[in-house]
Amino acid sequence: MAEIKDFYESGKGDRLIDPLLFPEEIKQFLTCEKRILETLADSFDLLVEVGSMYGRYPKWAVENGKYYLGIDIVQRYIETGRKIILDLQLNPDKCRFVLGGAENITDLVKPREWNVKLRKCLLFFPFNSFGNMEDPLVIVKGIKKSGLPFLISTYGTSQETNVCREQYYRDCGYSEIVSLQDEKGVRFVSPDGLSTIAYHPDYLQEIFTIASLKVAIVHFSQIAVAFTLPELAKKIMPITF
C-alpha cells in the first residue's frame, strides 16, 4: 500500500490523467465510461467514486441531481477535490471528499447519513482505479459486506489494449517500463513507481466467486471492461459502443 500511495502522493501519478497525453483509444474509453454512468443515472442517487483522485465526476453528479462522495488514499487529492467543490460552488452538503481506502468501504460509505437507500448508491471505480489498488480480494469482500451496487471500469487484457497502454505510459514520461503478464492479468511497472494491472476477466470473476458476489462482465470501447451487478449490466448492454 505504501508504494502505491507514495507514487501518487509524490505527484508522479498525476500525468496519468492529463487529457493531452491520452491516445484516441483512451479518449473513447472515457467517453464510453461516461455514457455508462449516464445510462445508469436512474439507478442511483449517491455516486461514490473510489480512487477518485480529485474527482472525475463531482460536477456531473451534482448537475444530474446526485450526491457525490470521492474517496482516495492520497491527502493531496482530497484537498484539491474539496477546493474544486468550493471553486465550482457545488453544494458541500451534496458533494464531499473523504480520505480512506477502498478496503474500508463499509466505514466510509454510510448511505443513511445522506438519506439515501443502500440500493440507490453506486460504488464506482473509474478509469482503472481498481487496478491501482493493493488486494482485489479484500476490496471485493468489502463490496460484498457493504451490500452496495458497484461498477468497476477497467482495461481489458487484449494484445491491442496492452500495446495501447504501453505507448500511453511511455507518452506519460515513464521510462524503463516493463510488462508483466501472468494468470492474474497484465501489469505495467516502472522504476518511477508506476504499477498498474488490468486483471483478466476470468481471474476477477474467480475473485468475485470466492467473495460470493454475483458479477457480470461488459466489454466496452475497444479496450475497456466493466464489472458490475447483473441487473446493472442488463441496463448497460443495449448501448452500442
Which stretches of the chain bind ligand SAM, using CB under 6 A?
A: 4, 8, 16-17, 50-53, 56, 71-74, 77, 101-103, 126-129, 132-134
Query: In the bound complex, what is the minimum distance in angstroms from residue 191's beta carbon to ligand SAM?
Result: 18
Burial class for 5, CB neighbours closer than 10 Å (0-12, 13-18, 19+): middle
Q: Is the dihedral of CA 77, 82, 85, 91 positive or negative?
A: positive
Grid coordinates representing 206 are: 474467480
Choice between 26 and 218, CB closer to ligand SAM: 26
CA 77 – CA 13 distance, rounded (Å): 11
Nearer to ligand SAM, 134 or 166 (CB): 134
Helix intervals (H) in 135-237: 136-146, 159-171, 201-210, 230-236
From the CB of 125, what's the least distance to ligand SAM, in Å? 8
Q: Residues 196, 131: contact at Cβ < 8 Å?
A: yes
CB of 119 to ligand SAM, least distance (A): 23
Q: Phi/psi of residue 46, each to 5°?
A: -120, 120
Nearest to 50 by CA among 80, 17, 73: 73
Least separation, in Å, of the C-beta of 223 and ligand SAM?
15
Closest to ligand SAM by CB, 188 vs 231, is: 188
What is the phi/psi pair of residue 59, to 5°? Answer: -65, -45
Nearer to ligand SAM, 103 or 166 (CB): 103
Return the number of the residue (115 or 187) whose C-beta is nearest ligand SAM.
Answer: 187
Taking the complex as a whole, how short is the minimal distance between the CB of residue 37 and ligand SAM, in angstroms?
A: 11
